[in-house]
Amino acid sequence: MIHAQNNPFFKPYNTPFGTLPFDKIKPEHYEPAFDKAIAELEDEITGIANNPAAPEFENTIVALERSGKLLDRVRSAFFNVLNASSTDEMMEISQRVSPKLSASSNNIYLNEALFGRVKQIYDQKDNLNLSVEDKRLLEKTYEAFQKSGATLDAQGKEKYRSLSTELSLLNLQFNQNALKDKNRFEYLITNEVDLAGLPESVREAAVAMAREKGKEGWLFDLSYPSYVPFMRYADNRTLREMMYKEYLSVGNKGDEFDNKEVIRKIVNIRLEIARLMGNRNFAEYRLQYTMAKNQENVYKLLNDLLDAYKPVAEAEYKEVAEFAEGLTPIMPWDWNYYAEKLKDSKFSVNDEMTRPYFELSNATKAVFGLATQLYGITFKENKEIPVYHPEVTAYEVYDEDGTFLSVLYTDFHPRSGKQSGAWMSSMKSQYKEADGKDSRPQIIIVMNFTRPTETKPSLLTYDEVNTFLHEFGHALHGMLAEGTYSSLSGTSVSRDFVELPSQIMENWLEEKEFLDIIAVHYETGEKIPAELIDNLLNAANYNAGYLCSRQLSFGLLDMAWHTITEPFAGDVIAFEKQAWAPAMILPEVPGTLMSSNFSHLFAGGYAAGYYGYKWAEVLDADAFAAFKKAGIFNKEVARSFRENILSKGDTEDPAVLYKRFRGQEPTIDALLERNGIKK
């Protein structure tokens, strides 16, 4: 047993900027820290709820906002490590801790005395002379109680408590099943003939992965840097089919990691919670708190975009099929392979041509440099800041006037125990302390980029650079926050607004001026040739119809799962096929399933919210049009975007913030024009 005095969470950190002491934190420290933090929070809540003084904004709403600081620290440390560098021990801890966290949350939101105080203040909100931000905090606090069952009767409260606890465990189980199932697949090629078509960089990475596992040959798995190039370049169609079916069978093998029954339970519990709250379905329950407001507006967006993009996607499919010279039909495991060859044929550009110009350390400098050009901020590596894995790098971030802004952690490469995909999170959000001191944020961006090999540094694909810019946009949203309250700070905004700061950053990668900065040959130091830039830009809208239709299919799938009005006991695979059929371009493959590995929906907070990527794409295209008009590095437009969007978090209604920046309501026109759908 670890004594409390030896637990690093219970002592002053004595680290640069009060960062988490990852060099001292061990897995066995987490559970005792959670227990102590939860107990401390419950004492704080009891004090607020039972305060003999009349309920006021400061002694109730602000006191509630500032409670649970130890729990915030422990939770952010634990879950960031769990997602980025997990072990069986960490997973077991998460299973034990999750019910405790659910119970703690329910003990707050179902506390009748506490809610009584909150409601009393909320009912007089228009007479309290609150600032815009304070009023927003009051409204969001009341909304949080409302969403969490505070207005239910005693029986309803107990039902909500039970359902929410079960749901949190199921979300965790879904994620862990998917991770374990994905991690156990690997395919070793020992016959070089089977590598036909694969570029040297992909072969080198496969050799390095094999050696790391003590094997001879070329090893492939389902991580992005391994799977995607294999599907794009491998001539062996049988192996491409095998890899595709493995990828689309994660969580769908009928064994201990199968997620189909987990999905049924999750969607049914979500439906039950929605009904308990008086809603028809889970989408209605969730969407009332977003920019979209209701499912009708979501479906209008999805269908309007589908009407515009699907005919283009069908024409693109036909073109690829014709290029494949009679291969009918083009199956999903053929699509990337032939689409890539057609792209090379039409535009003389592919990842292997551009990869030498996107070396990771130089790309990092260029992405950081873009933030310097736009917002004046600078980055300085600090090796003294403890990190949770040797591959993580920590930076100090400073504003133009030299003021400290944030700590930024970067974690770039795939490894065992790391979730797939890419994400941004915070180790600590920005807020103002009780004495007015600005407590600055600590932000992390996590990727799964191509690893360096024995002969080459990490050379990124164009898509990987795009992902970098996307997650860095989220990071800017966190780092530039200037709010008073942590719960309204940075990326703590509605799901259909949170992708605007990330997706707008992707636009710079389609601009010649920025490509000329970021793309430098890793060996010669020469800038990318103008002809290759032209080819890249000419190919920017290649298969835009297909890519949009694919995203819309995910949005339709999400909405289908979360607009059910009766408990679901059917065939998960059949449900998926029917749900996204209107947006499907490629032939369906019997038995394959995406839902069983779709963590965004079943473990990642995007339930009834995946449409937000397209919603925000409309916003980002419209917003970037302002940069295009004034110049893509224009400091005045950047200042306005920072002041009205990036720094504000959720301190005001996002529609108000957007209009203040743009001066107009957004339309889909800018997106259609950017993608070449509308001239």
Q: What positions carry a catalytic annotation?
A: 471
Determine which helix (DSSP H) or strand (DSSP E) holds 283, and give its type and residue range.
helix 282-287
Q: What angle do CA 119, 124, 126 make, to 5 degrees?
A: 130
**Phi, psi (deg, nearest 5) at residue 410:** -120, 140
Beta strand 442-446 with 404-411 is parallel
Contact 465, 361 (CB under 8 A): no
What contacts 211, CB < 8 A, 6 or more positions away? none
- State the Cα–Cα distance between residues 579 and 98, nearest whole angstrom: 31
DSSP calls for 591-607: T--SGGG-HHHHTSS-T
Q: Can you read off the two tokens belonging to residue 673?
A: 């024009």
Report phi then psi at 219, rounded to 5. Answer: -105, 135
How far lies 623's CA from each of 93, 373, 604, 630, 654, in Å? 43, 18, 27, 12, 13
What's the CA gap between 146 and 115, in Å, rounded? 9
Grouping H, G, I as helix, E, B as strand and the rest as coil, residue 531 is helix
Give CA 272 to chain center in angstroms: 26
Calpha distance 391→198 (Å, rounded)? 27
Run of H or E residues at 578? helix 572-580
Calpha distance 329→324 (Å, rounded): 10
Q: Which residue has the tokens 């970098």?
A: 468
Cβ contact 332:247 at 8 Å: no
Cβ burial of 570 (10 Å; 0-12, 13-18, 19+) is exposed
Contact assessment for residue 479 and residue 397, using Cβ atoms and an 8 Å cutoff: yes
First vs last Cα of the chain: how many Å apart?
68
Is-contact 268 565, C-beta < 8 A?
Answer: no
The Cα–Cα gap between 651 and 659 comes to: 15
Beta bridge partners, 394, equal 409
Looking only at Cα atoms, what is the longest distance across the chain?
A: 80
- Would you call 423 helix, strand, or coil by DSSP? strand
Cα-based distances in Å from 164 to 267, 270, 279: 12, 9, 16
> H/E/C letters for each residue in 439-467?
ECCEEEEECCCCCCCCCCCCECCHHHHHH
Q: What is the DSSP letter of 520?
A: B
% helix, strand, coil for the chain, step of 5: 60, 5, 35
The strand pair at 431-432 and 438-439 is best described as antiparallel
| Closest by CA position to 86, among listed 22, 21, 27 | 27
Token representation of residue 493 = 């905004």
**CA dist., res. 211 & res. 308, Å (int):** 48
- A 10 A CB-CB count for 193 gives 8
Q: For residues 275 and 606, what is the distance between their CA atoms, to the nearest angstrom?
A: 19
